[in-house]
Each structure stands twice: as structure tokens, then as C-alpha cells.
């Protein structure tokens, strides 16, 4: 979650600049923003567990 919060902050800073880019420049800029999110280190617990399996189990239990 911390990664996306940081990415959101960076995107807000660059929103107006991004609006004036052509498609190729926009794709390059979005790649750079995603890379900046990936540069934020994951907490140690997230390196071995994402919670995905538990989330899927919870979704499955809610099905009628």
C-alpha cells in the first residue's frame, strides 16, 4: 500500500505535465512512475506473503 501512496503523490505532482504529453511520451512517463513505486522496498513480511490466498478464500466463502 505504501508503494501506491508514494506513486499517487508523485503522480499528483506531475499530473499537469502528463496532460501535455503525446502517447509515446505518456507511456514513458507512466513507466517511470511505476518504476518509482517498485523502488520502495517491501516490508519483510510482504516478501514472502501477500495475503492473496486468504483474500481468495474470503471471496469464495461469500459466494451464494
pLDDT at position 63 is: 66
d(CA 16, CA 37) in angstroms, rounded, equals 20
Domain count, the chain: 1
Classify burial at 39, counting beta carbons within 10 Å of its beta carbon; exposed 0-12, middle 13-18, buried 19 or more.
exposed
Q: What is the pLDDT of residues 22-41, one digit of tens each?
A: 999 989 988 998 999 888 88
Main-chain dihedrals φ then ψ at residue 41, nearest 5 degrees: -65, 140
Q: Which residues contact 18 (CB under 8 A, 6 or more apart)?
A: 11, 26, 29, 30
pTM: 0.43
pLDDT reading at 42 higher than 90:
no
Instruction: Provide the residue range defining the domain that includes 29.
Output: 2-62
Grid look-up 501535455 returns 20
d(CA 23, CA 27) in angstroms, rounded, equals 6
Amino acid at each position: 500500500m505504501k508503494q501506491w501512496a508514494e506513486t499517487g503523490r508523485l503522480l499528483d505532482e506531475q499530473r499537469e505535465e502528463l496532460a501535455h504529453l503525446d502517447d509515446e511520451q505518456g507511456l514513458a512517463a507512466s513507466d517511470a512512475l511505476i518504476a518509482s513505486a517498485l523502488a520502495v522496498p517491501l516490508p519483510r513480511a510482504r516478501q514472502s506473503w501477500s495475503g492473496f490466498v486468504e483474500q481468495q478464500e474470503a471471496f469464495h466463502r461469500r459466494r451464494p
